Amino acid sequence: MTPSTTSAGRDGAPRRSGPAGGTAGRLPWVLVLPAVLGMAFLVLPLAGLLVRAPWSTLARRLAEPQVLEALRLSLVTATLATLLCLLLGVPLAWLLARVAFPGRRLARALITVPLVLPPVVGGVALLLVLGRRGLIGQWLDATFGITLPFTTAGVVIAEAFVAMPFLVISVEGALRAADLRLEEAAATLGASRWIIFRRVTLPLIAPGVVAGTVLCWARALGEFGATITFAGNFPGQTQTMPLAVYLALETEPEAAIVLSLVLLAVSVVILASLRDKWTAGP
Amino acid sequence: MTLRARLVVARPRFRLDIDLEVASGQVVALLGPNGAGKTTALRALAGLTAMDGGHITLGGAPLHTFAAERRPIGVVFQDYLLFPHLSALDNVAFGPRCHGASRADARRTAAAWLRRVGLAEHADARPRQLSGGQAQRVALARALAVEPRLLLLDEPLAALDAHTRLEIRSRLRRHLADFDGAVVLVTHDPLDAMVLADRLVVIENGAVVQQGTPAEVARRPRTDYVARLVGLNLYRGTATGQQVKVGDMLLSVADHLDGPAFVAFSPAAVALYRTRPDGTPRNLWQATIEGLERHGDNVRIHLEGPLTASADVTPAAVADLDLSPGLRVWASVKATETHAYPA
């Protein structure tokens, strides 16, 4: 801390007096240069996408049946996957946050594995378990005649597998931050654990659930590796937007750009909806 | 419907073990310093902290075998813990709803309770829009709306500012008088305890050190903590007739008794002199002034010597005698101003 503010004038610093005032000297270029490069690295590809987009034919290309088909499939599967994640993930987060059971730390670590696992590996793992010859898939096939791989249901499964940790982590964080004493207060008023969860806990953690849901949906929408491995790439059935983008890039680069733009637009909308929660500065 | 309880909660470096009896219509205050175990006792009664022994019965029927949500209790928490996402009305309606009332009935009950605590016009307000005093009243209405047979209050006035506290205390007193069940109140404020409770139970280090009516406790403190609370000098010694030996000093007292005894006197009963006074008051000793502090309209002088004592003198006396820390003075107390009772 500078002992007096007048010394800043003698050092020649006033030309760069920051809003905080006084404390900052020269900006350290060792940090600023890589910072600017980093920013450019993240932003330029997106700008490139916008620059090279075939704006004149955009409307026509967007209306092409296979684009609409892929978009519809993506939205439907991502939404179904998110619903599946909510149905299983919120109780799972509650269990991890509220119930002390042996091996809870291990369980928490295992649940975050899909977060860091390469999605292709996730797809292979799903095949091994739910594939026609898989541990559970075999039984599903024999007993109910259900086959999951290479079906739309398979897409949902693959997306949910990859996206659920986002929801669980977000909801668990909200649960840990929620005031437990409010749940105790509800108990003294005669509320059972289920009533407490539904009428006190859930409303309290609603912002965390919403944020987790949006992140989860976004992750499911962009899923590529696990989907193509577990569900394949059949137009209209398992070919989601990211798969369509990848395929189009080989045959029709302009179409790939258009599809990418759609995904970019969706991402921006999501980011905007979460603006307050994730991008707001201190 | 008398509450009878023995509460035992064992912690690594703390053990709560107290007996408690509260008749219906009676208000008992658990009074004690921070960390004495008051709140733990209350939580054990509510079923929020598991007991390591003991029992709780209400009207003869066991209570400790039930989980919190099955006990006929109402709890007012220290910072009220109103549900932030519900209106005042829905906060109060929460309990009746959990007890099986229809939504409409629960809201009718809640509205009636809000009227009783004088907050009918704040029914739609969210907790964050309420002042501290209003939130406290909503919390009380919420606890009473389930028609509990045992009402538990944890520091119900601690979070209020001095002015609100006065008003809310007298309101609370009225509501407690109307309530026909047993009431257990936890507080560290002697005034709250004296005003609100019919009986005080003083807890220190997890054990009951004294109990009785507020008047008894105020007149005959039995620990230094209680003596400080009620503003008395307290000594423990051995009595023979009208004399009590405290350390090396022999105090003359008005009461006759023998054996272990307490002697208490008010700081206002202590007179200070620069020189040894003429005529010999019975109890006279030489003391050193440790410190001075304002105490109401007077100045409280802390004295070290054969007796560690507090003396209350007027600011004029402080000026006349030129009292300052380190000064040696003579202190005296008339025997008739002391109160001695068996230890």
- In this complex, is the C-beta atom of B108 within 8 Å of any C-beta atom belonging to chain A? no
| Yes or no, beta carbons of A203 and B85 under 8 Å apart | yes
pLDDT exceeds cutoff 70 at A58: yes
CA atoms of B67 and B64, how far apart (whole Å): 8
Q: Are B92 and B110 in contact (CB under 8 A)?
A: yes
- In this complex, is the C-beta atom of B176 within 8 Å of any C-beta atom belonging to chain A? no
Query: Encoding tokens for residue B308?
Result: 């560690």
Least Cα separation, residue A97 to chain B (angstroms): 18
- In this complex, is the C-beta atom of B46 within 8 Å of any C-beta atom belonging to chain A? yes
- Looking at 3.40.50.2300, 3.40.50.720, 3.40.50.300, 3.40.50.11260, the CATH number of the domain B3-226 comes to 3.40.50.300
Q: Where in chain B is the domain with CATH 2.40.50.100?
A: 231-342
Exposed/middle/buried for A98, CB within 10 Å: 0-12, 13-18, 19+? Answer: middle
Q: Which residue has the tokens 């272990």?
A: B260
CA atoms of A143 and A43, how far apart (whole Å): 51
Q: Which of A189, A197, A163 is nearest to A89 (CA)?
A: A163
Chain B residues within an 8 Å CB radius of A203: 83, 85-86
CB nearest to B81's CB, from A182, A195, A199: A182
Q: State residue A235's pLDDT score.
A: 87
The predicted-structure confidence for B148-191, as pLDDT tens digits, reads as follows 999 999 999 988 888 888 889 999 999 999 999 999 999 988 88
The predicted-structure confidence for A146-172, as pLDDT tens digits, reads as follows 888 899 999 999 999 999 999 999 999
Least Cα separation, residue A195 to chain B (angstroms): 8
Q: Which residue has the tokens 């292709």?
A: A120
pLDDT exceeds cutoff 50 at B238: yes
User: Which 3-state string (H, E, C) describes B66-91?
Assistant: CCHHHCCEEEECCCCCCCCCCCHHHH
Q: State residue A275's pLDDT score.
A: 67
The predicted-structure confidence for A166-206, as pLDDT tens digits, reads as follows 999 999 999 999 999 999 999 999 999 999 999 999 999 99
* B297-306: average pLDDT: 92
Chain B residues within an 8 Å CB radius of A184: 48, 68, 81
Q: State residue A277's pLDDT score.
A: 56
Strands, E, within B71-206: which ranges?
73-76, 150-154, 182-187, 199-204
Q: State residue A6's pLDDT score.
A: 41
* A91-99: average pLDDT: 92
CA-to-CA separations, B193 to A101, A107, B205, in angstroms, rounded: 42, 49, 19
The predicted-structure confidence for B41-99, as pLDDT tens digits, reads as follows 999 999 999 999 999 999 999 999 999 999 999 999 999 999 999 999 999 999 999 99
Chain A residues within an 8 Å CB radius of B74: 188-189
| Yes or no, beta carbons of B67 and A187 under 8 Å apart | yes
Q: State residue B48's pLDDT score.
A: 94
Minimum Cα–Cα distance from A185: chain B residue: B81
CATH architecture of the domain B231-342 equals: Beta Barrel (2.40)
| Yes or no, beta carbons of B83 and A182 under 8 Å apart | yes
Q: What is the DSSP string of A258-278?
A: HHHHHHHHHHHHHHHHTHHHH
* Torsion angle defined by CA atoms of residues B44, B46, B48 and B54, in that order, rounded to the nearest 10 degrees: 30
CB nearest to B98's CB, from A191, A203, A204: A191
* Torsion angle defined by CA atoms of residues B138, B144, B145 and B149, in that order, rounded to the nearest 10 degrees: 160
Give this complex's ipTM. 0.84
CA atoms of B99 and A190, how far apart (whole Å): 6
Q: What is the mean pLDDT of chain B?
A: 92
pLDDT exceeds cutoff 80 at B198: yes
Q: State residue B1's pLDDT score.
A: 83
Q: State residue A14's pLDDT score.
A: 47
Domains detected in chain A: 56-275 (1.10.3720.10)
pLDDT exceeds cutoff 90 at B6: yes
- In this complex, is the C-beta atom of B142 within 8 Å of any C-beta atom belonging to chain A? yes
B 290-309 residues with CB below 8 A of A?
Answer: none
| Yes or no, beta carbons of B95 and A204 under 8 Å apart | no
Q: How confident is the model at residue A276 (pLDDT cuts 50, 70, 90)?
A: low
Query: What percent of chain A clears pLDDT 90, i.e. is strictly above it?
Result: 50
CA-to-CA separations, A20 to A4, A16, A29, A30, A109, in angstroms, rounded: 15, 11, 19, 21, 41
Q: How confident is the model at residue A5 (pLDDT cuts 50, 70, 90)?
A: very low
Residues 6+ apart with CB under 8 A from A6: none
Q: Which residue has the tokens 């004294």?
A: B210
Chain A residues within an 8 Å CB radius of B83: 182, 185-186, 200, 203
pLDDT exceeds cutoff 50 at A217: yes
Chain B residues within an 8 Å CB radius of A204: 84-85
Chain B residues within an 8 Å CB radius of A189: 69, 74, 94-95, 98, 142-143, 146
Q: Where in chain B is the domain with CATH 3.40.50.300?
A: 3-226
The predicted-structure confidence for B255-291, as pLDDT tens digits, reads as follows 889 999 999 999 999 999 988 888 766 789 999 999 9
CA atoms of B316 and A93, how far apart (whole Å): 68
